[in-house]
C-alpha cells in the first residue's frame, strides 16, 4: 500500500488554509484526512489545522483492526463531531476566530474497503479504468444541479460555486455523510480540496493516475497541473493505492 500526498499554496493566495494528514495505521490499514479552512487568514488556517489534529488523534487512539462496519462509521463520524465541537467553542470564545470553519474528508482503507466521511466540498474519488466522485458536495451549486436548475458544466463558472452549505465549526451540530466503497486490485482513492477538483479535469486525473508509474509522486503531478492551470486556490491531494488489494 502506498500513500502519495502534497499540499501547495497555489499561485493566488497569501497563505495555505488547507491541511492534511496521512499514514499507515497498521500493515494493511491506511488513514487520511484533508481539510480546507475558511473564515479569514488566521481563522481558516487554525480551523483546518486544528480539525486535522483532533481527527488524527481521535482515529489513532480509537481504531482497532477488529472493528465492525457500524463501529467504523461511528468512529469516523465521532471524530468529525469532536472536531466540530472544539472549532465551534474556539469560534465563540475568540472574537478574531468568529465565523471560522473548515471542510473535511477522511478515509480509513482496509479489508478491501474504503470508509469515507465528509462535510463540505472537499472530495473523494475512486479511480481505476474510470473515475467516479464518491462524495456529494455540500454546496449551493450541487443543490442547484440536484434540482435541475443548472448543469454540471454551468456549475463550473457559477458565481456561487465557492459557497458551501455545511462546514465544521460553524454551528453547534454538524451532519457528516458516510460512503463505503468496495475495492478491487488496482483501485486508487483520491482525497482532495476544491483547489484541485475545480482546476484539473477528471480525465486528466484518471489518465495521470493510471498512466504514470506509481514510483512517481502522483499527488505532486496533480498539484503541478492545478498550478499550471492557474493555481487560483490552495491545492491538496492525497492518493492511496494498494496493488495487492483484491487478490
Show me where the domains of the chain are located.
2-241
The tens digit of pLDDT for each residue in 97-125 reads 998 999 999 999 998 999 999 999 999 99
Q: From CA 81, how far away is CA 207, in angstroms rounded?
A: 36
- Copy the grid coordinates of residue 84: 466540530
Q: From CA 82, how far away is CA 50, in angstroms rounded?
A: 11
pTM across the whole model: 0.92
Cα 148 → chain centroid? 26
The tens digit of pLDDT for each residue in 39-73 reads 765 799 999 999 999 999 999 999 998 899 999 99
The tens digit of pLDDT for each residue in 9-21 reads 999 999 999 999 9
Dihedral sign from CA coordinates of 94, 99, 100, 101: positive
The tens digit of pLDDT for each residue in 187-214 reads 999 999 999 999 999 999 999 998 877 7
Our CA dihedral for 59, 183, 242, 79, rounded to 10 degrees, sits at -10
Residue with cell 482496509: 110
Q: From CA 40, how far away is CA 143, in angstroms rounded?
A: 25
- Name the CATH architecture for the domain at 2-241: 4-Layer Sandwich (3.60)
Amino acid at each position: 500500500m502506498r500513500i502519495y500526498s502534497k499540499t501547495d499554496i497555489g499561485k493566488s493566495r497569501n497563505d495555505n488554509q488547507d491541511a492534511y494528514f496521512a499514514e499507515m495505521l497498521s500493515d494493511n490499514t491506511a488513514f487520511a484526512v484533508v481539510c480546507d479552512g475558511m473564515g479569514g487568514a488566521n481563522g481558516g488556517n487554525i480551523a483546518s489545522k486544528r480539525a486535522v489534529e483532533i481527527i488524527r488523534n481521535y482515529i489513532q487512539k480509537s481504531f482497532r483492526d477488529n472493528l465492525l462496519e457500524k463501529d467504523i462509521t461511528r468512529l469516523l463520524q465521532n471524530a468529525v463531531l469532536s472536531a466540530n465541537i472544539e472549532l465551534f467553542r474556539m469560534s465563540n470564545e475568540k472574537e478574531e476566530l468568529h465565523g471560522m470553519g473548515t471542510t473535511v474528508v477522511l478515509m480509513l482503507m482496509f479489508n478491501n474497503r474504503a470508509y469515507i466521511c465528509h462535510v463540505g466540498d472537499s472530495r473523494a474519488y475512486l479511480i481505476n479504468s474510470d473515475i467516479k466522485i464518491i462524495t456529494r458536495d455540500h454546496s449551493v451549486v450541487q443543490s442547484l444541479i440536484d434540482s435541475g436548475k443548472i448543469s454540471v458544466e454551468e456549475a463550473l463558472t457559477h458565481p456561487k460555486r465557492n459557497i458551501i452549505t455545511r462546514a465544521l465549526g460553524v454551528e453547534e451540530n454538524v451532519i457528516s455523510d458516510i460512503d463505503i466503497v468496495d475495492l478491487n486490485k488496482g483501485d486508487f482513492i483520491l482525497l482532495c480540496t476544491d483547489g484541485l477538483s475545480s482546476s484539473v479535469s477528471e480525465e486528466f486525473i484518471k489518465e495521470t493516475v493510471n498512466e504514470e508509474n506509481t514510483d512517481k509522486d502522483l499527488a505532486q503531478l496533480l498539484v503541478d497541473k492545478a498550478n499550471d492551470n492557474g493555481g487560483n486556490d490552495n491545492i491538496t491531494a492525497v492518493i492511496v493505492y494498494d496493488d495487492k488489494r483484491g487478490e
